[in-house]
Structure 1
Amino acid sequence: MTDPTITDADAPRPLRNARDSAGGAGRLLSAVFGDLRAVDGALYAAVAATPTPTLDRTLRHLSHAADHSKISFGIAAVLALSGKRPRKAALAGVGAIAVASASANLLGKRLVRRARPDREAARVTVDRHVKMPTSASFPSGHTASAVAFATAVGVVLPPAAVPLGALASAVGYSRVHTGVHYPGDVAAGAVLGIASAAAALAAAAATPSARTQALLAAARSWPRISIGGAPRR
């Protein structure tokens, strides 16, 4: 008897199949991102095309006031003068801003390098205009910092969660309204802000307080008791 003959059609092609699968997944992912970019651009265009003369000036001023987290730092200063718990919340909020700002500007924007929207092509009314930043568009640093501050402060000081969350949402929307960010940039900034607040709060929880550190130092320097009852060092 002779061995059965393996034809070309029956021979396995693992490498080719793997390449085909990877290529198909890549094409699918590219198509999904293309659709998301199309939705993102359509939402941006819809906001730009919707006349809101009453809101334009207010949101323009809000967007400008949020530059360099001025609003959040101002709120933190008030909280720091309002008692122990609000002071702790202010410190957590400022720490979250630091994490969010570094993550957005030193990591996110440099990795993605998304171009800013073409505000003139979208016909964003001049009444909404703030200075167009020169940095990359993705993610929104204003949103990341505002959400990080609101989240961290809200966890430590729950009564502040709702008003600060509403303020952070308004700051994020103002960046789209003024034409300097796509909605997707703002959504990514919000996610980054929440993650930054969680990281800052975790770091703060892992760091012993000044009182705890003092007690530990005193315990280490206290005379040790020997088995015979006499103190030893």
Structure 2
Amino acid sequence: MRVLRQLGHLDRAAYRAVADLSTPGLDRPLRQVSKFANFSKPWFLIAAALALFGGRRGRRAAVTGAAAIGLTSLVVNQPMKLAGRRGRPNRTGMGVPENRWVRMPTSTSFPSGHSASAAAFAVAVGDVLPQLNMPLRLAATVIAFSRVYTGVHYPGDVVVGAAVGALLGRATSKGARWLRPTSFESPGGA
């Protein structure tokens, strides 16, 4: 229990450090990013573009990415959030400026579903289309950070969500590879 208390103190200190950042130029963009990420909208839009314009490998990446989001949402938003039962941060008490705020979700805080879905999609699609690996991971990182910046998650929620999402994204891509190994051949072969 002592270790968990220490981690909780560290998590709250990191949350306050982000709240104390004097970066008003980021307030509106990160608020918009955080809202836009609701219901995995960016990932499903990217999946649609890949399916429409990416050929066979793009369609495979789109299906793998969408499956990773589905699996991750099921695992994170059901048993993990119910088991975690961590309350959302007190933005007012922790000093998050109101101009950063987005609507506070009603679900429990731990782990971050936005971060989990973002990481799952980025890893799963990056495994199929390695050229998208870095841009997708960067986008997932921005979304994850936006959840702390807007005050709806502690950093620990985001880190654990992203880790779980990455693991489930990798498991999904491995499962897809096992089901259809020929679709994962080198880009020149498809």
* TM-score for the superposition, normalised by structure 2: 0.92
Q: Counterpart of 1:150 in structure 2: which amino acid? A: A
> How far does residue 32 in structure 1 lie from its aligned partner after superposition?
1.1
Match of 1:132 in 2: 104
Match of 1:24 in 2: none
Structure scoring higher RCO (CA < 8 A, sep ≥ 6) equals: 2
> How far does residue 49 in structure 1 lie from its aligned partner after superposition?
1.3
Moved more, 168-177 or 42-51: 42-51
Match of 1:182 in 2: 154
Structure 1 residue aligned with 2:65, among 93, 98, 101? 93
Match of 2:185 in 1: none
What's the % identity of the aligned pairs?
A: 48
| Cα-Cα RMSD | 1.3
Q: Aligned with 1:81: secondary structure? A: helix
1:40 matches 2:11? yes
Unaligned runs of 5+ in 1: 1-29, 210-233
Q: Counterpart of 1:199 in structure 2: which amino acid? A: A
Q: Is the 8 A contact 2:64 2:125 kept in 1?
A: yes
The separation in 2 between residues aligned to 1:205 and 1:135, in whole angstroms, is 34
The separation in 2 between residues aligned to 1:168 and 1:208, in whole angstroms, is 27
The separation in 2 between residues aligned to 1:122 and 1:52, in whole angstroms, is 17
The separation in 2 between residues aligned to 1:48 and 1:198, in whole angstroms, is 32
1:154 matches 2:126? yes
Q: Aligned with 1:181: secondary structure? A: coil
* TM-score for the superposition, normalised by structure 1: 0.75
1:166 matches 2:121? no
Match of 2:84 in 1: 112
1:122 matches 2:97? no
Q: Counterpart of 1:74 in structure 2: which amino acid? A: L
The separation in 2 between residues aligned to 1:169 and 1:143, in whole angstroms, is 8
Unaligned runs of 5+ in 2: 182-190
> How far does residue 50 in structure 1 lie from its aligned partner after superposition?
1.4
The separation in 2 between residues aligned to 1:141 and 1:132, in whole angstroms, is 13
Larger helix share, 1 or 2: 2
Q: Which consecutive aligned stretches of 4+ in structure 1 deviate over 6 angstroms post-superposition?
A: none
Q: What does 1:51-90 align with in structure 2 at a 5 Å threshold?
A: 51-82=22-53, 83-90=55-62
Q: Counterpart of 1:41 in structure 2: which amino acid? A: R
How many residues end up aligned between the 2 structures?
A: 181
> How far does residue 31 in structure 1 lie from its aligned partner after superposition?
1.1
Q: Counterpart of 2:44 in structure 1: which amino acid? A: F
> How far does residue 208 in structure 1 lie from its aligned partner after superposition?
4.8
Q: Which one has the largest radius of gyration?
A: 1
CA displacement, residues 178-201 of structure 1 (integer Å, 9 cap, x when unaligned): 000000000000111111112212
Match of 1:50 in 2: 21
Q: Counterpart of 2:28 in structure 1: which amino acid? A: R
CA displacement, residues 95-134 of structure 1 (integer Å, 9 cap, x when unaligned): 1000111111011100111000001101211111100001
